[in-house]
Amino acid sequence: MKKNDKADIPKQSEIIEIEKEVPAISKVKNPQLKTEIEAQVLVFEKKITTQFRGPLPAPETLQQYKEIYPDSIKKIFDNFECNAKNRRKLERAKIRQGTTGLWMCFILCLCFLGVATYLIMNGFGVAGIATVMSAVAAILISLVIGKKYSSKIP
């Protein structure tokens, strides 16, 4: 009995018979019949439990697509490659956006500290302290809002 031959796939009537006979396999006295029933059950189990995991379809499925539409495999792989490139591009943009935001925040802090220092040095202490306080508040608010926004981005 060949294991990959399509003739080995049990028909519906054979499946019903096997289901009835499976509990009684141990009671079968004829060793040849017992071996044949076990082989049919084994073939049946292998057909049902076949699984495949991965980003692309299973090789057998790809072959079936190829039989239906010859260029389908190339289109599937091209689509997969395009999606992978786009995903990497979006990840790089997200990283670049985060670092750009940090640099802008740093420059803004330096500007506010410079203005506050100038105001304090020229006798406007209250205005200088108010400038520092408003700068710190603006930076904290922008960081909190930025964190909330970035956590929503997939």
Q: Which domain holds residue 24?
A: 1-50
Give 57's Cβ-side CA count (13 Å radius).
15
Identify whether 120 is part of a domain.
no
Identify whether 5 is part of a domain.
yes
Identify whether 27 is part of a domain.
yes
**Which amino acid would we find at residue 70?**
P
Distance CA 69, CA 61 (A): 12
Number of domains in the chain: 1
pLDDT per residue rounded down to tens, the chain (154 residues): 444 445 555 555 554 555 555 556 666 677 787 777 777 665 544 455 567 777 888 888 888 888 888 898 899 899 999 999 999 999 888 888 778 877 888 888 888 888 888 888 998 889 888 888 888 888 888 778 777 766 665 5
**pTM higher than the cut 0.85:** no
